[in-house]
Amino acid sequence: MLESAAFEPGTRVRVTQQLPQTHAVWTTTVEGVVCRYRQAKTGSWFAHAKADKLWLDRLEVKKDDGELVTLNLDRYSVVEAV
């Protein structure tokens, strides 16, 4: 992942995420302009964290067609400034 400057609102980014499977890897890419980057909590019955909440890094990106996408970033996420 990049330094936090890449997550500043107005920065154009390409986010590639991978989901490992048993015999393959699913890959998806989203490109657009950063609207917001934040850490947000989510309900999680397995996290056993404070108040049963798990904190996730979330990046909101506006694609060229106007669609707003919220991405949960993890160790398989690559964010590139373009």
Domain boundaries along the sequence of the chain: 4-81
Q: How buried is 34 (Cβ within 10 angstroms: 0-12 exposed, 13-18 middle, 19+ buried)?
A: buried
The DSSP code for 75 is: T
Which CATH architecture is the domain 4-81 placed in? Roll (2.30)
Taking residues 30-46, report their average pLDDT: 84
On the question of pLDDT at 80 being above 60, the answer is yes
User: CA angle, 58 as apex, 37 and 12 as ends, to 5°?
Assistant: 50
Q: Give the start-end residues of each E strand in the chain.
A: 12-20, 25-43, 53-62, 68-73, 77-81
Ranking 3-7, 20-24, 60-64, 74-78 by mean pLDDT, the lowest is 3-7
Give the confidence band of 42 by pLDDT, cuts at 50, 70, 90: confident
